[in-house]
Amino acid sequence: MQALGVAMGGLAMGRAALAGLAAAIGVTAGLLVASGAASGTAAAAEPASCQTVRMADPGWTDITSTNAVAGALLGALGYQQKIETVAVPIIFQALKTGQIDVFLGNWMPAQSTFLDKLIAEKSVEIVRPNLENAKFTLAVPTAVADAGVRSFADLARYGDRFEKKIYGIEPGAPANQIIKRMLDKKDFGLEGWTLVESSEQAMLTQAMRRTRSKDWVVFLGWQPHPMNTRIDMTYLSGGDAYFGPNYGSTTVNTLSRRGYGSECANVHRLFSQLAFTVGMENEIMAAITEDKQAPKDAAAGYLKAHPDLLGPWLAGVSTRDGKDAAPAVRAALGLK
């Protein structure tokens, strides 16, 4: 599978909307429970193909972190994790064709243009929301906000200070497409403005550099991400039509390929119970980006410090050979 540039996006999906999508593809609470079956028999009934869990990473630090958490659990249970680093459109195509089993990074509804079609075709399943209270919208340094830029509507008035540029992420990213649509329509008086497309790290480097030099900059901001502590930043209001209400409040979903729950019931049960928090992801991401830890080490360190998470995640889950999951994971982490 060809590695491409990363893509990102995230907006809010209400619970009712998510439930409707889940219903459309037959994902009900009963199915999620049934897919787990009894812990001892689920693993025993799985075919050999379930031993390798194929996952995807668009190159975002948050998904690198959550994939690492999943990898720590899967490895302790006797599974192998294989991660493809590819762009969002490729990930959805791979889910459709069965080349990817699980994706932890479905930010909605920015990725709805990819997901809606596959839901209509019944070629993917929404396993569960794995993160609530995320957000994604435009942001500026707080000093710029204090100078009068607190909403999308304020940007045009200071176009010269911003050099009429908005800093985004990789070409093809759903969030970049949202910004391009906004600029094409010249909404908020943003005539003549351009989108600067680059990688996540290049965008953040530019935002931090311009913040330190007291130059004005407007860029894509989101949480969870260590940028929220590394940059004194303020999210802009007024972008609801493009990024959703409440500063782009977002839900992130776990997706699986069609039929994965019935084929690989034990590991599917794990993913149906695996959920994260903004604080959790921020801490793991900071260990990766600031402390320069390997993702697997950052994830293991967090789990060792928070062993209470394991009970709900591993309930009814077994090891690959049918043993109780919790003792195996605790042993792998060096916990008593």
- Kindly list the structural domains of the chain, giving each domain's residue range(s) and its CATH number in brackets, ordered by start: 15-134+250-333 (3.40.190.10), 137-245 (3.40.190.100)
Q: Give 3-state DSSP helix, strand, coil % of the chain, rounded to 5.
A: 50, 20, 30
Give the CA-trace dihedral at 300, 305, 307, 312, to 10 degrees.
Answer: -80
Q: Which of 325, 253, 312 lies closest to 72 in space, CA to CA?
A: 325
Burial class (CB in 10 A: 0-12, 13-18, 19+), 99: middle
List the structure tokens of 111. 């990725």
Do residues 278 and 223 make contact, with C-beta atoms less than 8 angstroms apart? yes
Distance between CA atoms of 313 and 267, rounded to whole angstroms?
Answer: 11
What does pTM read for this prediction? 0.77
Q: Which of 173, 231, 170 is nearest to 201 (CA)?
A: 170
pLDDT value at residue 206:
94
**Ramachandran region, residue 70 (left: φ > 0; alpha: ψ -120 to 50; beta: rest):** alpha
pLDDT of residue 44: 53
CB–CB of 70/17 below 8 Å? no
Q: Measured between alpha carbons, how far is 328 from 330 in angstroms, rounded to an integer?
A: 6
What are the residues whose beta carbons fall under 8 Å from the beta carbon of 278, sequence distance 6 or more? Answer: 131, 133, 134, 223, 224
Point out the residues of the chain with pLDDT beneath 70.
1-45
**pLDDT score, position 43:** 53
Q: Are 13 and 111 in contact (CB under 8 A)?
A: no
**Using CB atoms within 10 A of its CB, is residue 291 exposed (0-12), middle (13-18) or buried (19+)?**
exposed
Q: Is residue 171 within 8 Å of 88, Cβ to Cβ? A: no
pLDDT > 90: percent of the chain: 73
